[in-house]
Chain A
Amino acid sequence: MKHDVDLSVNIAGINMKNPVMVASGTFGFGREYSDFYDINKLGALVTKGLTFMPKNGNPPPRVHETPAGMLNSVGLENPGVQGFIEEEWPHLSELAIPVIANIDGDTVEDYHKTAKKLSSLEGLAALEVNISCPNVEKGGLAFGQEPESAFEVIKAVREATRLPIIAKLSPNVTHIQKIAEAAVSAGADAISLINTLLGMAIDIDTQQPIFSRKFAGLSGPAVKPVALRMVWEVCEAVDVPVIGMGGITTWQDAVEFILAGASAVAIGTANFVNPTAPLEIIEGIKAYLDMKGRNLQDLIGAARG
């Protein structure tokens, strides 16, 4: 008899029919990929990062290809929280899957205000608090590099909302476990990681850095082993669910993250390469579990012994 695979997972109250989400900043506000497939098939959708006021982003160039990866320096271009509510939320709220808003800020106060404003949206599933963006002057990554500042931001968001909070961590730190612990003690209900790795590229013709902000964020298959190691470390340190991401391109990659302890995964750069990658990954995980005669829950952290 064919085994009926249960792919569902609940992360901090967010009910997902499968563990595959799309990562912030790689999926816009969900419109762009609906030409290719029914995005209601995803486990959840995470929006482009939102700030309280609209942001223009960084001057071009903003992307640069690297071996099995890419650097980006988009700089959180977004319509601001009010623009999001007016322009994007009406169509997002009609989706049948959980929609998670990713938020960022220059100051702790910004995060608090953005979280508060978004909390009024009926149907929003959770907030992913980005304390890890490497491409902005203030805020972002700076908050995610010290346990104290990570605590402060998450606490301010906690005070602003009753929505589940996912803290999105940066890999550009020495002790990822301390940051994760601080985020959880401040009230984070889940952890997601990794954001991009700080990198750079230099134009040998002009003999100048490619990007105006010099450093940029590395993503894609090249970062996967680093991401996997950090997910492993964080799963060891905290009891809340972990969402693993960083270079996941195939279902095999996704299974590795789940075996390391991630309850769900997010697909980022792979969307650019293969627009239907998330669907193929869902199908691949399902077929794998079917073959093993197991459910998703049995797989989470199974490599930890």
Chain B
Amino acid sequence: MNNTVAALADIVQNKEIAPNIYHMKIKALDIAKKAVPGQFLHIRCGKTLSPLLRRPISIADTDEKTGCVEIIYRVVGEGTRLLSQTLTGHKLDVIGPLGNGFPLPEKDAHCIIVAGGIGTAPIIYLAKKIASEPKNKNSVTTVLGFTTKSEVFGEGYLKFPGVETIIATDDGSYGYKGFPTDILERLLQEHMGKTDPIIYSCGPKPMLIKVKEIAASKNIRAYLSLEEHMACGVGACLGCSVKSSRKGYKKVCKDGPVFEAGEVELC
């Protein structure tokens, strides 16, 4: 009981860090204490009946000492537009932490984390969490992909010892030219002969399909964080389904949003 909290949290920051990308911090100690990387918050963006449903947004960081929970979100529709206009000092109606997060590596693992666009948000939390246990001797390479230089964010949030960050842009205006999955293939090539790395990924579906394909072809463990429109966010309405590789459907909100790549069909 009470793994999930419903809270009216104080908003302490809500600022635009790239075009249409916002970084919000709220005070929600109970959530900060319980959350793990890959979990999300379900947020009521407005106060009226339209838009009606909450919006699922990944947790980008937490701080158990200050009780801060951070999210980074992109404005895509009416809900997130309202959220972007919410002022600090106001309250945020939030439920969380929800879903299953990324299984963390035990020790001596090499983690390659591949993110695309706003999929960078949960990856920041994950990379930081892995790097926060130096005694485990895990190494992390994050590969972030964006369409163009002006869209790039997250690099500054990933400056931890033990975390290497590589940026790719589709047009080559910043970092490497190409997709983050091109870099993933290259990194795996370079890593050949050593212990298998673990792949983590979050981002647009075509990218996740490619990551899944690469991981399967090399027989490497991969965890994918999926996105789907949701209603309840807690597993009650069965609205956010993804096809299971075995039988029937899985719930993105409750069984995921993080799945082992072989568990789900992405097409």
Residues of A within 8 A of B (CB): 25-28, 31-36, 48, 54, 56-57, 59-65, 67-70, 72, 74, 77, 220-221, 249, 269, 271-276
- Pick the contact of A28 from B1, B49, B235 — CB < 8 Å? B235
Q: 19 pairs across A/B with beta carbons < 8 Å?
A: A26-B236, A28-B236, A32-B232, A35-B234, A36-B6, A48-B238, A56-B248, A60-B249, A61-B228, A62-B240, A62-B241, A63-B230, A63-B239, A65-B51, A68-B50, A70-B52, A74-B239, A77-B249, A272-B236
Assess whether B212 is interfacial by the CB under 8 Å rule.
Answer: no
Given contacts A36-B6, A63-B229, A273-B44, contact A221 B52 (CB under 8 A): yes
Given contacts A36-B6, A69-B52, A221-B49, contact A63 B234 (CB under 8 A): no
Nearest CB on A from B50, distance (A): 5
- Pick the contact of B231 from A60, A63, A77 — CB < 8 Å? A63
Assess whether B195 is interfacial by the CB under 8 Å rule.
Answer: no
B241, A60: Cβ atoms closer than 8 Å:
yes
**Complex CA–CA separation, A216 to B215 (angstroms):** 37
B236, A32: Cβ atoms closer than 8 Å:
yes
**Complex CA–CA separation, A54 to B248 (angstroms):** 10
**Complex CA–CA separation, A271 to B1 (angstroms):** 18
Within residues 221 to 254 of chain B, which ones have a CB less than 8 A from any CB in chain A? Answer: 228-243, 247-249, 254
A-B contact count (CB 8 A): 104
List 3 tightest A-B contacts by C-beta distance, closest first: A63-B239, A28-B236, A32-B236
**Complex CA–CA separation, A281 to B225 (angstroms):** 36
Assess whether B86 is interfacial by the CB under 8 Å rule.
Answer: no
Question: Using Cβ atoms and an 8 Å threshold, which residues of chain A touch B138?
Answer: none
**Complex CA–CA separation, A48 to B237 (angstroms):** 9
Main secondary structure of the interface of B (DSSP, over half): loop
Question: Using Cβ atoms and an 8 Å threshold, which residues of chain B touch A25?
Answer: 237-238
B52, A56: Cβ atoms closer than 8 Å:
no
Assess whether B25 is interfacial by the CB under 8 Å rule.
Answer: no
B232, A62: Cβ atoms closer than 8 Å:
no
**Complex CA–CA separation, A63 to B229 (angstroms):** 7
**Complex CA–CA separation, A32 to B53 (angstroms):** 17
Nearest CB on A from B218, distance (A): 29
B248, A35: Cβ atoms closer than 8 Å:
no
Given contacts A33-B234, A63-B239, contact A275 B95 (CB under 8 A): yes
Given contacts A33-B236, A249-B49, contact A57 B231 (CB under 8 A): no
Nearest CB on B from A94, distance (A): 14
Contact with A along B96-136 (1 / 0, CB 8 A): 00000000000000000000000000000000000000000
**Complex CA–CA separation, A221 to B52 (angstroms):** 9
B229, A64: Cβ atoms closer than 8 Å:
yes
Categorize the interface residue count of chain B. 20 to 34
Assess whether B3 is interfacial by the CB under 8 Å rule.
Answer: yes
Question: Using Cβ atoms and an 8 Å threshold, which residues of chain B touch A74?
Answer: 237-239
In the complex, what residue of chain A is closest to B53 when comparing beta carbons?
A65
Question: Using Cβ atoms and an 8 Å threshold, which residues of chain A touch B236?
Answer: 26-28, 32-33, 271-272
Question: Using Cβ atoms and an 8 Å threshold, which residues of chain A touch B233?
Answer: 272
In the complex, what residue of chain B is closest to A66 when comparing beta carbons?
B52
Q: A28-B236, A65-B53 are in contact. List 20 more A-B contacts (CB 8 A).
A: A26-B236, A32-B232, A32-B234, A33-B234, A57-B241, A57-B248, A61-B229, A64-B229, A65-B51, A70-B231, A72-B231, A77-B241, A77-B248, A77-B249, A249-B49, A272-B231, A272-B236, A272-B237, A273-B52, A275-B95
Nearest CB on B from A246, distance (A): 14
A275, B6: Cβ atoms closer than 8 Å:
yes
Assess whether B74 is interfacial by the CB under 8 Å rule.
Answer: no
**Complex CA–CA separation, A275 to B93 (angstroms):** 11
Most buried by B among A56, A59, A275, A276: A275
A271, B232: Cβ atoms closer than 8 Å:
yes
In the complex, what residue of chain B is closest to A37 when comparing beta carbons?
B6
Question: Using Cβ atoms and an 8 Å threshold, which residues of chain A touch B54?
Answer: 272-273
Assess whether B4 is interfacial by the CB under 8 Å rule.
Answer: yes
Given contacts A221-B52, A271-B232, A272-B232, contact A62 B238 (CB under 8 A): yes
- Pick the contact of A276 from B6, B52, B234 — CB < 8 Å? B6
Assess whether B2 is interfacial by the CB under 8 Å rule.
Answer: yes
**Complex CA–CA separation, A170 to B10 (angstroms):** 43
